[in-house]
Structure 1
Amino acid sequence: MEAGDPEPHAAGLAAAQSALGRALGAAADVYLDAGRADAAAAALRRLKELTARAPLTDVHAACVSTFARARDRDSEGIVPAWQRTTGEPWPTFVYRLG
């Protein structure tokens, strides 16, 4: 990419980040369906990392929804897998309205 004004690329970047967020969420779901909690945790880690870098509401919403869905579906598998994969406790998300 040439140096210069990044503004012409902002829409494309936002679309790519949104698509990546949806793909990582779908990957976590597929891995959980297959009983592969460690692979699901790796996809969740990537989604959480994307969320930290992408200032997009839909990416943040996809992250929160995917984490909630994963925990609801397989808390006994995904929470320990998350801790093994990241060395961190299962994340909590706090958002303020306004």
Structure 2
Amino acid sequence: MGGHHANPHAKPVAEQDQEAMANAKVPLAYRDTCAHLLMPLNKCRRESWWNPNKCGHERHTYEECLYNSYLQRCEAKVQQDKVLAAQAAEN
């Protein structure tokens, strides 16, 4: 049976190398916790002339990182709501 195996390379990283992102010409909107994976993906895409049959592993890793980042934000929101509910109950 198949299952999801966690990819250790798809981990969101808060501290990104701003200079490397600027040199790689990553748009500001994409300079998030997964930008360290977008740079090699875009390099692979440029080298393969955006061939959809190439760079599959890099794309999957980048998209998995985006999903993991989303899950982290959801969990942070749940924790924030618990704190706010506790504060509201005290008042």
TM over 0.5: no
TM-score, normalisation: structure 2: 0.37
Higher RCO structure (Cα 8 Å, ≥6 apart): 2
